[in-house]
Structure 1
Amino acid sequence: MNTELLGIAATFLITLVIAIPLGKYLAKVFAGEKVWTDFLSPFENGIYKLSGINPREQMNWKQHMKAMLTINSVWLIYGFFVLLYQDKLPLNPDGNPGMSADLSFNTIISFVVNCNLQHYSGETGVSYLTQHFVLMFLHFTSAATGIASAIVVFKAFRDKTVTSLGNFWEFFVRSITRLLLPLSIIIALILAFSGTPASYKGKDQYVSLQGDTVNVSRGPAAQMIAIKHLGTNGGGWFGANSAHPLENPSYLTNMVEMIAQVIIPVAMVIAFGYFIRRKKLGWIIFGVMTAGLFLLLIPTISSELSGNPSIAKMGISQSTGAMEGKEVRFGPAASAYWSTVTTIISTGSVNSMHDSTMPLTGLWQMLAMMINSFYGGCGVGVLNYLIYLIIAVFISGLMVGRTPEFLGHKVEAREVKIAALITLLSPLLIMAGTALACFVYTDYGHADWAVKPASWLNNPGFHGFSEMLYEMTSSNANNGSGFEGLGDNNIFWNVSTGFVLILGRFLPIIGPVAIAGLLGQKKYIPESAGTLRTDTITFGIMTLAVILVLNALSYFPALALGPLAEYFSMLK
């Protein structure tokens, strides 16, 4: 067990060793400073010319958001029809069928919004063409969308007073050419040489020790698995995701995939401090996010290593921890670490079944997604944190009798209202969605939802409520992991989570960008003795307290009905 904990510590330290210099590099890339990847400029210029883009054309925050929403709408329509008719398109050696309209609706929204809420099984639900030219394509573009949106916020806070915030297309293209594509190639090579399939061949067969002939899906998986983690999307090539032995063959690949999904979210926090020339603020934000990580990670590891108390009562040793739903090659500690980082970062990939984790672990997983700002997804983690930061500035200003200011700009009613609305959005989507699911589940005879609601749940008690709460929480956080005891491939879940996904993605991007754009165009106020400093440990603690209090007030009743009730019933 000590070895497993050392593996977690080594994974986290290696992540920081890579992420910190990567953050400094990203700050230079998006600031237009000279970096070693400038040799890619001719390639990027070719993309601009082919697309009719002038990368030097300046945009305000509204134009940035218009560009972002327009291109994402195009991808959504394109992907919807490819998924619908994939059985009639090439590169489908296994003969996988086309999706139903409601499943296609859910799937394309899920991947456009950088999520992986897969209501299908990867190896049987989509073709190789769809995996690569829709889903893997969106792994790159959705991650780049989040990064480009974050850079708009960076630009707004860098200069004293500014309305011109760079060009969205330049940020978007550079996110792919200077970051996502090069790192994906490296990770894909490591996975391919470790045993992950990387060819376009169809299913293979082998004869088991029992004499059964088994069909094994394969395909060009390594390429997709690399970017799914690096881009914090998490959509698996195989239905079992990174618990599958071909998607995650060894402890080495397990470490590589865990590191890959964390480095960009951490790097973006470091890049923020360096980009706006306020390194101390960047490190304070990093410190708060890291503290949040450990507040969730430590009890998760403790819960999983302690084992199942129901089994312990039977006199069975729990020295190996809670192993139900986990891979022996990883163990409970590494699985606990993965479940924490994949939920705080909105990757949503899994190397174990979250439905089998201990009740309190499920609570920490859901709380991580409800907070959704400890590192967060590519770019959007910083945006989510900004909302809490603005609220903390407002509350702190009231407490000490000073005018709320952030980076030399007054925080006034308009910015606070936007922050408050975005803060209330998540509880609304999660609670209303879960309440609707509970209503439909119990309303047996009055509606046909393409599947009998009673068949949604294998565990209709406290755990069944947790399954529905987790599904809505995961959708709102654009995470995509799930308690797979829930039968979710039906009209109700496909449509309801589809709307939660799209609202939970774009409104929390538009809100912070609008706040940054509005603050950036205000008159700059030099710091004085009366300025509320936001780059201090004290203010960092204040922000962490705001995050914890707001989420506790919003979600405790629901968590009490689900994982907490299940935990106490297990003890009983």
Structure 2
Amino acid sequence: MTFQGWFLILLFVGILLALTKPMGLWLHALLDGRRTPLHVVLGPVERGFYKAAGIDPTAEQGWRRYAVSMLIFNTVLLGLTYAVLRLQGVLPGNPQGLPGLSPDLAFNTAVSFTTNTNWQSYGGESTMSNLSQMLGLTIHNFLSAATGIALAFALFRGFARREAAAIGNFWADVTRVTLYLLLPLCIVYALFLIGSGVPQTLAGAVDVQTLEGARQTILLGPVASQEAIKMLGTNGGGFFNANSAHPFENPTALTNFVQMLSIFLIGFGLTWTFGKAVGNPRQGWAILAAMLVLFLAGVAITYSQEAAGNPILNQLGITGGNMEGKEVRFGIAASALFSIVTTAASCGAVNSMHDSFTALGGMIPLFNIQLGEVVVGGVGAGIYGFLLFAILAVFVAGLMVGRTPEYVGKKIESREVKLAVLAIAVLPLAILGMTALSSVLEAGLAGPLNAGPHGFSEILYAYTSAAGNNGSAFAGLTANTPFYNGLLGVAMWLGRFFVIVPMLAIAGSLAAKKYVPEGPGSFPTTGGLWVGLLVGIILVLGGLTFLPSLALGPIADHLSMIRGQLF
């Protein structure tokens, strides 16, 4: 590890902390439906959408109607995307003449982008036409991200409102987030990327002559526009197969740094928005502090392991850290930081191959997702997932110290706890159940490239990434088969919507409750003790659930490595 590496990490955190309140203020304006400076230009567009769809944005919805609207919206988008991908070969915007996708790959991809996972069982530039990238995928990058933020708003209202029957209007929330947050940010961001060398064209490819005199075909496309929302919306699906390791997606050290900032920007802002919504900004800062403790611990472990390198190679005199699978233009520190940022958020972007990390260095990105991607997490999904853990934490605290389980003025009762447990249990059931199945069936065992614990890690990471709606790949697993496309698609759907519905039920239950002011019997939820309890609950639940699988995979891999055994 170097001073420059840690300076990069601390600078990254410092800039994000400086941007947290400004972003939180803008999000809070959207949460309340207040007018913003952009309403002068975009207000007529917003009203036009409502009129065309026959929607009254002032008509609020109870949690059941909010959930049904969200499910219908996403199911219809899933069907439209599946149709575009299957019919790609006969649709326009296909300068390379690429054929339509197979049924299993089209299903996997449509589910992937609908659920904000962006898992890619395909090579982007060799599989998707420009139309499929723009109409089938980039639109989902906007709308799946907007859905996540809208759902966070619904839960915020549940905590903030008193004896209310409604938690907002799904259609209004999604429209406002898309028009007044994601779209303007992405326009500015895309222009920055274009100026940095990222292509933005409808051309399919260009032929060039190499220095050796050979002819090479360089694929192009509307990359910058997809790259911007890919990062801001914590989507992660790359236009190119190499994702953010490709120079057309991530050409410089500056774009690499800005991409990491953009992944966390909205997630950081939402913590402040939550505190503001419940009338106590310290509540939001406490959540952010707990997230940062987990984040910095993960960065420290991965960076130290990658900087130390492989002890077997070190004994041979090959030192300088583990550069396998990493871009020389980014180096170890920026690669380690990027891997933790993208797995702490639900962003599947990668600028290095996690499969080539050291065993423990690669375990931390895996464990980040297994924790529920609540260490900042996906836009919206991270904060509402974290609040589910907060509900459990305050309930456990109440049991331990004999105080009333209350959180931000709402009494936490058995209904909320049961629903929180139901939502949190979805992830381990999907991950461990499908990993076990794939580890014994012939179709599953045909996928891993490596044998032994590293091969098991490849399978475990795939289902963790899918159910956690992250989308990054450990690499080494051949996943474009009917078996993996089908199971991973199911895992992605479960990991997204089987968490959302119980969460919305909690929002509805909390909104209907009376406000309970803090008293002598209340457990404080803004200080260091509360932050420590939150971190402890998350780690204990994650450790007890996933430690056996980690012991079979990356931990066994690490022990084999230090004994001098390679697979």
For normalisation by structure 2, the TM-score amounts to: 0.97
SS of 1:439's partner is: coil
The AA in structure 2 aligned to 1:465 is: F
> Counterpart in 2 of 1:444?
none
2:116 pairs with 1:114 = yes
Contact 2:167 2:511 in 1 (8 A): no
> Counterpart in 1 of 2:274?
272
> Counterpart in 2 of 1:29?
30
> Counterpart in 1 of 2:454?
463
Q: Which segments of 5 or more consecutive residues in structure 1 lack a partner in the other structure? A: 442-448
Write out per-residue CA displacement over residues 146-184 of structure 1, whole angstroms, 9 at most, x where no aligned residue.
000110111111122221222111111111111100110
Among 454, 477, 492, the alignment partner of 2:483 is 492
CA distance in 2, matches of 1:306, 1:413: 48
CA distance in 2, matches of 1:526, 1:272: 18
> Counterpart in 1 of 2:549?
558
2:509 pairs with 1:518 = yes
Among 313, 316, 326, the alignment partner of 1:314 is 316
> Counterpart in 1 of 2:287?
285
Give 1:120-199 correspondences, 5 Å limit: 120-199=122-201
Poorly superposed stretches of 4+, deviation over 6 Å: none
CA distance in 1, matches of 2:113, 2:6: 33
Q: CA shift at 1:266, angstroms? A: 0.9
> Counterpart in 2 of 1:445?
none
Write out per-residue CA displacement over residues 102-130 of structure 1, whole angstroms, 9 at most, x where no aligned residue.
00000000000001110000001111001
> Counterpart in 1 of 2:416?
415
Q: Does the C-alpha gap of structure 1 residues 561 and 385 become closer, same or farther in structure 2, counting only changes over 3 Å? A: same
SS of 1:228's partner is: helix
Q: CA shift at 1:557, angstroms? A: 0.5
SS of 2:441's partner is: helix
Give 1:521-532 correspondences, 5 Å limit: 521-532=512-523
Contact 2:342 2:350 in 1 (8 A): yes
Write out per-residue CA displacement over residues 382-414 of structure 1, whole angstroms, 9 at most, x where no aligned residue.
111111111111111111112322233222222
> Counterpart in 2 of 1:402?
403
The AA in structure 2 aligned to 1:351 is: N
2:210 pairs with 1:219 = no
CA distance in 2, matches of 1:49, 1:24: 28
> Counterpart in 1 of 2:9?
8
Contact 2:108 2:485 in 1 (8 A): yes
Q: Does the C-alpha gap of structure 1 residues 336 and 531 become closer, same or farther in structure 2, counting only changes over 3 Å? A: same
Give 1:55-94 correspondences, 5 Å limit: 55-94=57-96
> Counterpart in 1 of 2:211?
209
> Counterpart in 2 of 1:356?
356
The AA in structure 2 aligned to 1:218 is: L
Contact 1:156 1:163 in 2 (8 A): no
> Counterpart in 1 of 2:343?
343
Contact 2:121 2:479 in 1 (8 A): yes
CA distance in 1, matches of 2:13, 2:526: 25
The AA in structure 1 aligned to 2:323 is: M
SS of 1:543's partner is: helix
**Greater Cα offset, 157-166 or 174-183:** 157-166
CA distance in 2, matches of 1:418, 1:454: 35
Q: CA shift at 1:94, angstroms? A: 1.1
Among 528, 531, 535, the alignment partner of 1:540 is 531
CA distance in 2, matches of 1:12, 1:207: 43
Q: CA shift at 1:454, angstroms? A: 5.2
Q: CA shift at 1:514, angstroms? A: 1.2
Q: CA shift at 1:526, angstroms? A: 2.7
The AA in structure 1 aligned to 2:547 is: F
SS of 1:234's partner is: coil
CA distance in 1, matches of 2:415, 2:167: 20
SS of 1:42's partner is: helix
SS of 1:205's partner is: strand
2:234 pairs with 1:232 = yes
2:437 pairs with 1:436 = yes
Q: Does the C-alpha gap of structure 1 residues 57 and 439 become closer, same or farther in structure 2, counting only changes over 3 Å? A: same
CA distance in 1, matches of 2:195, 2:409: 51
SS of 1:111's partner is: helix
Q: CA shift at 1:435, angstroms? A: 0.3
Contact 1:386 1:512 in 2 (8 A): no
Contact 2:278 2:408 in 1 (8 A): no
> Counterpart in 2 of 1:38?
39
**Greater Cα offset, 30-39 or 380-389:** 30-39
**Number of equivalences:** 560
The AA in structure 1 aligned to 2:298 is: L
**Greater Cα offset, 202-211 or 47-56:** 202-211
Contact 2:388 2:420 in 1 (8 A): yes
CA distance in 2, matches of 1:526, 1:568: 52
Write out per-residue CA displacement over residues 17-40 of structure 1, whole angstroms, 9 at most, x where no aligned residue.
233311122112221334323322
Contact 1:121 1:239 in 2 (8 A): yes
> Counterpart in 2 of 1:379?
380
The AA in structure 2 aligned to 1:412 is: E
CA distance in 1, matches of 2:79, 2:16: 36
Write out per-residue CA displacement over residues 50-96 of structure 1, whole angstroms, 9 at most, x where no aligned residue.
11110000111111111100100000011111101101100000111
Contact 1:140 1:227 in 2 (8 A): yes
CA distance in 1, matches of 2:47, 2:245: 41
RMSD between superposed Cα atoms in Å? 1.3
The AA in structure 2 aligned to 1:258 is: M
2:499 pairs with 1:508 = yes
The AA in structure 2 aligned to 1:542 is: L
CA distance in 1, matches of 2:493, 2:381: 14
SS of 2:178's partner is: helix
For normalisation by structure 1, the TM-score amounts to: 0.96
CA distance in 1, matches of 2:536, 2:46: 43
Q: CA shift at 1:417, angstroms? A: 1.1
SS of 1:200's partner is: coil
> Counterpart in 1 of 2:562?
571
CA distance in 1, matches of 2:134, 2:542: 37
Contact 1:187 1:256 in 2 (8 A): no
> Counterpart in 2 of 1:100?
102
Contact 1:236 1:242 in 2 (8 A): yes
Q: Does the C-alpha gap of structure 1 residues 243 and 400 become closer, same or farther in structure 2, counting only changes over 3 Å? A: same
Contact 1:28 1:275 in 2 (8 A): no
Q: CA shift at 1:455, angstroms? A: 4.0
Q: CA shift at 1:6, angstroms? A: 2.5
The AA in structure 1 aligned to 2:303 is: I
Q: Does the C-alpha gap of structure 1 residues 6 and 527 become closer, same or farther in structure 2, counting only changes over 3 Å? A: closer
**Greater Cα offset, 24-33 or 129-138:** 24-33
Contact 2:30 2:177 in 1 (8 A): no
Contact 1:16 1:263 in 2 (8 A): no
**Greater Cα offset, 351-360 or 203-212:** 203-212
CA distance in 2, matches of 1:29, 1:459: 48
Contact 2:423 2:502 in 1 (8 A): yes
The AA in structure 1 aligned to 2:406 is: E
Give 1:318-333 correspondences, 5 Å limit: 318-319=319-320, 321-333=321-333
